[in-house]
Structure 1
Amino acid sequence: MLFEAVPVRVYWPRTAGAEPRRGLVWIHGGVGFFGSLRAYERFCRFIAWESTTVVVCIKFPLAPEHPYPAQQLSCYAAVSHFLKNAGDYGVDPQRVVLAGDSSGAAIIAAISQQLVMRTDLPRARGHVLLYPFLQALDFNLPSYQQNHSVPILFKKRVIRLGMLYLTGRNVNVDEIMGNAHVPQELRAKYRKWISAELIPEEFKVLAHEPFVPGPFSEDLYQACKKAFEPTCSPLLMEDVILRRFPETFLLTCEYDIFRDDGLLYKKRLEDNGVPVTWRHLKDGFHGICLLTGLGPLEFPSTRKSMKSIIQFLERF
């Protein structure tokens, strides 16, 4: 099926029910390079069946064949189409939730900055963000220090792929790991939103050392300037936009380099009056929800997190 020339797959509830139903649009992770409809089929089918929700999974074009921001543009087109035509799929347009994991969650936060400004489309009822990537300003927050070598997201590899996705070229990863791509004025400007000082002390127990940035590189900054746009780093969006976001379900995992991105986003949402349902998996790791339906490979926290997502959806 195509939504504005973008391939999607629609998953229907297993049992018949009253219409119109709840709808959920899923945008998968994978740093813009990986991910497929097949990889997320078990996950999407589980949500559709367990919550009586019509689930739409978007197959957006992948890098490097399709450079950034092709992924965001395709998702924006597909989401806009569904919001406009939800009734054709038996979905109440006032009960549509936008959801994603990892970089897919980042795309949700990115395209929503445009969606909330449109008056010709129904507003999304909620967001579901699972272990989201949300900023490229500081790669030395406590969770990056603690989990730099924890599978499946090794810090150096993620930064290398992320910058390749964003810029289309290989850049000096070691310098970026030292935050050498960030000028002092930007670091000072956004300290109110992105700083280890804003992370609760309980999350600094396992590993956290005061970090001193490496020497600033103007060449690296010019190469990575897109990283400081709020559509790439949603934590940098202005409050006037963020406070228009819908109620949000946020899942973070202890053993995940992106944990602190989620914690900082939770604080920003709450500071702007956006209701947040937060679940933190103390034994969780990045990608844990993708183990849904794999039987003995499921972790106890896999099913626990899925139950929390279903409970959040059933409120709408």
Structure 2
Amino acid sequence: MAVVYTLLVLFLAVFLAGFALLIMGAIHFDFSNSEVPPGVNQPVKLRVLHIILISRAVVGKILENIGICSQISFVRYLQGGKPLGVDPELFIKDTWFEEVPVRIYQPKVPSDSQRRGIMFFHGGGFVFGNLETYEKLCRSIARESQSLVVSVGYRLAPEHKYPAAHEDCLNATIHFMKNIQHYGVDPDNVIVCGDSAGGNLAAAVSQTLAGRSDLPKLRAQILLYPGLQALDFNLPSYQQNRRVPLLSRERAACFGLLYLNGDALHLKEVLEGSHIPIDIKLNYRKWVSPDNIPERFKVRGYKPHVLLDCTAAVSESVKRFCEPNLCPLLAEDAVIQQLPESFILTCEYDVLRDDGLLYKKRLEDNGVRVTWYHLEDGFHGIFNTFNSDWLSFSAGKRGLDIIVNFLKSL
């Protein structure tokens, strides 16, 4: 018995020592490789959240190296969280639209008229995120706006490359619109909504449906700090916020490549801008250019980037970055002009800030009504924290209130 007790004590000591080393290593990595600007909302809490995420990634890498599971699978498993249980104000149902898993949130309070319907596409860089990750956010949107919300569990990269996620979100939306009478939703009040990669998918779905006469026209699109292009990772926001959690410039480019090709082999070229031929860059410069970013967003420091050409091999590998279904900012004016009323939310301390600003300008230049809200103290991923009460951020709640008010105005 004494031997067993001694072994247990030794095991516990080794475990605690390993845990302490993990946390100290994560803290060191956070302070050495990331930057939390003074204007960020609740900076200490953001550091704590980032350290937790780093620790998860490290453990996942260890498990991958010893052959237990992949790092991505481990992080996805931890993202699930504990079930929230029954909601007294909502009917919640898991089902399938075609072959796509969805979760429907329907207010229990009877409505005098048909409700608005919201197709929600979660973020996570096309690699992470699931129905559980955004459970609390979707419940909040459904309850506070008294809308029916359909959360879409689209396929993830790198297992499922582009255009899998787009196809899933598009097919789920079309299925919903074709069967809308079953859900008590006004066919003239359907909205697509998403954050980050989900914002990309919402924009792409909206463009794909533009001009279709066999379906009701979308009422609006809500794009929350969306990633909308992969031509230029040296725009002002990518330079200014390259080390700001929760999305670094390098990770943004890596996620794009994982979705496109299932690997990140040409990450270096993408970051330095030598992945797209110069003639193609110049062709799209009317839409993707720092010249289209208001000067007030350049005051934190910005150095114009020299245009670099690329090799044929790299260009061939990433040529689909120029497809609007992957990079909606590159759609032609004829498509943009048909888009519905739009809401765009950007965060000051976000590498994707300028994607949203450039799209805002494109929409407005083409006569599309845009409501824009900028979180001056916000950072990328601020809505990802809704499932955790103690790691949620006041700026995120403020942003949610603005979104709900926009929905109620439709």
TM-score using structure 1 length = 0.97
Partner Cα separation in structure 1 for residue 149 and residue 405 of structure 2: 16
Q: Does 1:8 align with 2:96?
A: no
Aligned to 1:254: 348
Aligned to 2:129: 35
Aligned to 1:212: 306
Aligned to 2:209: 115
Secondary structure at the aligned position of 1:292 is classed as helix
Q: Does 1:235 align with 2:325?
A: no
Secondary structure at the aligned position of 1:94 is classed as strand
Secondary structure at the aligned position of 1:177 is classed as helix
Secondary structure at the aligned position of 2:409 is classed as coil
CA deviations on 1:137-167 (whole Å, 9 max, x unpaired) are: 1110000000111111111122123112201
Gaps of 5+ in 1: none
Aligned to 1:76: 170
Higher relative contact order (CA 8 A, sep 6+): 1
1:197: how far off? 0.9
1:12: how far off? 1.2
Aligned to 2:237: 143
Aligned to 2:373: 279
1:218: how far off? 2.0
Partner Cα separation in structure 2 for residue 195 and residue 130 of structure 1: 21
1:129: how far off? 0.4
Distance change (3 Å), C-alpha of 1:215 and 1:96: closer
Contact preservation (8 Å) 2:277, 2:309: no
Contact preservation (8 Å) 1:10, 1:55: yes
CA deviations on 1:49-97 (whole Å, 9 max, x unpaired) are: 0010000000111122222211111111100011111120111111111
Contact preservation (8 Å) 2:241, 2:349: yes
Partner Cα separation in structure 1 for residue 301 and residue 268 of structure 2: 20
167-176 vs 221-230, greater mean Cα deviation: 167-176
Partner Cα separation in structure 2 for residue 174 and residue 214 of structure 1: 13
Secondary structure at the aligned position of 1:34 is classed as coil
Q: How does 1:18-33 map to 2 (within 5 A)?
A: 18-33=112-127
11-20 vs 262-271, greater mean Cα deviation: 11-20
Partner Cα separation in structure 2 for residue 287 and residue 164 of structure 1: 19
Partner Cα separation in structure 1 for residue 391 and residue 101 of structure 2: 30
1:114: how far off? 2.0
Q: Does 1:96 align with 2:197?
A: no
Contact preservation (8 Å) 1:14, 1:49: no
261-270 vs 216-225, greater mean Cα deviation: 216-225
1:29: how far off? 1.2
Percent identity among equivalent residues? 48
Aligned to 1:313: 407
TM-score using structure 2 length = 0.75
Gaps of 5+ in 2: 1-94
Aligned to 2:58: none
71-80 vs 286-295, greater mean Cα deviation: 286-295
Q: Does 1:266 align with 2:335?
A: no
Contact preservation (8 Å) 2:276, 2:319: no
Aligned residues: 316
CA deviations on 1:83-128 (whole Å, 9 max, x unpaired) are: 1111201111111111001111111111222211311110110000
Secondary structure at the aligned position of 1:297 is classed as coil
Structure having the higher Rg: 2
Contact preservation (8 Å) 2:364, 2:370: yes
Contact preservation (8 Å) 1:175, 1:214: no
Aligned to 2:153: 59
Partner Cα separation in structure 2 for residue 7 and residue 300 of structure 1: 31
Secondary structure at the aligned position of 1:157 is classed as helix
